[in-house]
């Protein structure tokens, strides 16, 4: 079975005052479309962006992204 | 639709339009019996001028509509999509060049039997290169449009 990268970004955004995709995109320095693609699991971000997202939500990388 | 995607679709339409404009123009010159090296070169200049004007108009209109997004640079996903698409277009462009090199080496065999018998073999190869270049551009842009749509 092939493993896939999944994430909890949508949930984390919801718990952070319903942060918009645009606000998250601006905070980590990518476009809103990239955030949409990451959330849907259609694009795997670079380590740098992944760490930026995790740090923004004050979480560990494992809490945001999982590979299973 | 994002500014980037709109630009890609706009460029795709412009490039397909240019290829059609070039092909139809050369065909109509040929049909009218007016095709020569001089008319071909002047028509090529006209196509180049039209290409530049259309691109400027399209970019200005889109930047006017989505001026906020127009100032943003490429992020890592944009660069990756650009890389994948360019690779595909580059493959086709390389194939065209290799075919032209092969034609050049076989020039004595193919002379007078090419697409445009009214002009010299050199101009026929140039005609083939122009079509190959425009098709490779279309492949590049179309694959970009596809990759943006697929991931959105």
Give contacts of B151 with chain A, Cβ < 8 Å: 33, 37, 40, 42-43
The interface residues of chain A toward chain B in range 31-50, judged by CB-CB distance below 8 A, are: 31-34, 36-37, 40, 42-43, 45-46, 49
pLDDT band at A1 (very low <50, low <70, confident <90, very high): low
* pLDDT above 70 for A11: yes
**Which chain A residues are closer than 8 Å to B148 by Cβ?**
33
Please answer yes or no on whether B75 and A45 come within 8 Å at the CB atom.
Answer: no
Fold classification of A3-65 (topology level): 434 Repressor (Amino-terminal Domain) (1.10.260)
Of residues B25 and B59, the one with the higher pLDDT is B25
- Here the tokens at position B82 are 């650009």
User: In chain B, which residue's Cα lies nearest the Cα of A44?
Assistant: B77
Query: pTM (2 decimals)?
Result: 0.84
Yes or no, beta carbons of B77 and A32 under 8 Å apart: no
The per-residue pLDDT for range B31-60, each reduced to its tens digit, is 998 888 899 999 999 999 999 999 899 888
Q: Which of A4-13, B69-78, B134-143 has the highest mean pLDDT?
A: B134-143
Which residues in chain B have their CB less than 8 angstroms from residue A43's CB?
Answer: 77, 151
Alpha helices in chain B (DSSP H): 3-31, 37-65, 67-70, 76-105, 107-110, 121-151
What ipTM does this complex have?
0.85
Closest CA–CA distance from residue B152 to any residue of chain A (Å): 6
Q: Range with the lowest mean pLDDT among A24-38, B44-58, B113-127?
A: B113-127
Residue B96: the pLDDT is 93
Set of chain B residues whose Cβ sits within 8 Å of the Cβ of A32: 2
Average of pLDDT values for B116-130?
Answer: 88
């Amino acid at each position: 079975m092939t493993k896939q990268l999944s994430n909890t970004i949508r949930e984390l955004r919801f718990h952070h005052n319903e942060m918009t995709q645009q606000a998250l995109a601006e905070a980590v320095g990518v476009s809103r479309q990239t955030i949409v693609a990451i959330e849907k699991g259609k694009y795997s971000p670079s380590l740098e962006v992944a760490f930026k997202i995790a740090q923004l939500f004050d979480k560990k990388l494992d809490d945001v992204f999982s590979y299973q | 639709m994002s500014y980037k995607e709109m630009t890609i679709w706009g460029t795709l339409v412009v490039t397909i339009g240019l290829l059609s404009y070039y092909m139809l123009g050369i065909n109509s010159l040929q049909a009218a019996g007016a095709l020569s090296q001089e008319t071909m070169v002047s028509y090529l200049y006209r196509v180049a001028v039209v290409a530049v004007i259309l691109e400027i108009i399209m970019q200005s209109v889109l930047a006017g509509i989505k001026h906020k997004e127009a100032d943003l640079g490429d992020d890592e996903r944009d660069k990756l999509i650009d890389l994948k698409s360019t690779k595909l277009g580059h493959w086709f462009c390389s194939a065209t060049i290799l075919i032209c090199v092969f034609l050049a080496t076989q020039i004595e065999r193919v002379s007078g039997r090419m697409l445009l018998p009214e002009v010299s073999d050199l101009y026929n190869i140039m005609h083939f290169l122009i079509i190959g270049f425009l098709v490779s551009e279309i492949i590049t842009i179309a694959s970009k449009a596809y990759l943006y749509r697929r991931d959105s």
